[in-house]
A and B are shown apart, each in its own frame.
Chain A
Amino acid sequence: NAGVTQTPKFQVLKTGQSMTLQCAQDMNHNSMYWYRQDPGMGLRLIYYSASEGTTDKGEVPNGYNVSRLNKREFSLRLESAAPSQTSVYFCASRLLGVGQPQHFGDGTRLSIL
């Protein structure tokens, strides 16, 4: 069982370039999330999708867009990358219901020069 799969695992971009980070889950989960984690910091929520067809902003949405392509896939797009967006990006998914935890992928390490 693959769980949450993120691609790519590593990427280096130049300032101003665009990029889409991909996330897919095979657990039939309803909700999906994108977080960023800067060195020595906790995770900060960028965007989330409570269910297929809906997306909402989290704590740090500026500079990002998301698409909930279907129930399995939730992508994160950087339209014009900036050095401040250098971070590790984590995708998570969750089944709706009391007591259901989030399941995380292993992250995409993104460097913007």
Chain B
Amino acid sequence: LAKTTQPISMDSYEGQEVNITCSHNNIATNDYITWYQQFPSQGPRFIIQGYKTKVTNEVASLFIPADRKSSTLSLPRVSLSDTAVYYCLVGDRTTGANNLFFGTGTRLTVIP
């Protein structure tokens, strides 16, 4: 079961770009990297997923180096509403088992 390591917390001012890095040294060949966002009193919400190189969608970018032992979630121009906990997960997408380890996540606080 591939586990992940993230910073416990980060602070950022509104309008800045935020980069959250996740370490996953034991990532397996079939594992994908997925990031979720969680607000208080809500379930996690999917942000972005990737296997290698760079993935971008309307809310974030995900950078994955060639060795895949880490990944970086990039949030452009954060706002107060981006204050949340962000989880990096590594799991096997090729089987139904889909074992995922959430870890403690990174608590991002956006400051006005």
A residues near B, CB below 8 A? 4, 30-31, 35, 40-45, 48, 50-51, 54, 56, 58-59, 90, 92, 94, 96-107
What chain A residues lie within 8 Å of B101 (beta carbons)?
Answer: 45, 59
- CB of A67 to closest CB in B, whole Å: 18
What chain B residues lie within 8 Å of A105 (beta carbons)?
Answer: 43
- CB of B103 to closest CB in A, whole Å: 5
B63 within 8 A of A: no
Q: Decide: A104 near B98, CB < 8 A? Known: A41-B104, A42-B87, A42-B104.
A: no
Contact status B49-A101, CB under 8 Å: yes
What chain A residues lie within 8 Å of B95 (beta carbons)?
Answer: 50
B residues near A, CB below 8 A? 32, 34, 36, 41-46, 49, 87, 93-105
Contact status A50-B102, CB under 8 Å: no
- CB of A55 to closest CB in B, whole Å: 12
- CB of A33 to closest CB in B, whole Å: 8
Contact status A50-B98, CB under 8 Å: yes
**Can you spell out 19 A-B residue pairs with CB atoms less than 8 angstroms apart?**
A30-B96, A41-B104, A42-B104, A42-B105, A45-B100, A48-B98, A50-B96, A51-B96, A56-B97, A94-B98, A97-B93, A98-B94, A99-B93, A100-B93, A102-B46, A104-B43, A104-B45, A106-B41, A107-B43
